Amino acid sequence: MTFDEMVAYLLETYPPDRYRGDELMTNIAAEIKAAEARGAITPEVREKVSRHFNVTTSEHGGPG
């Protein structure tokens, strides 16, 4: 899955107007982690998607 495909998938699956901020970030972080674990995205795509959604703290399962 490319960066653009992953971003589109996350925006379709978790529209920002339907989720609270912390719930949205938790769900997106879990999806990113699961996608990488199953080999759907590369570590490079994970990094870019995490930065795109500002999922950068370890509490959200991000790279930081």
Domain that holds residue 37: 3-60
The domain tally of the chain equals: 1
At CB < 8 A and 24+ separation, what contacts does 50-55 make? 52/3, 52/7, 53/10, 53/25, 53/28, 54/25, 55/25, 55/28, 55/29
Point out the least confidently predicted range of 8-12, 16-20, 36-40. Answer: 16-20
Per-residue model confidence as pLDDT tens digits over 19-64 = 888 899 999 999 999 999 999 999 999 999 999 999 864 544 444 4
Q: What is the mean pLDDT of residues 6-18?
A: 94
Q: What is the pLDDT of residue 58?
A: 52
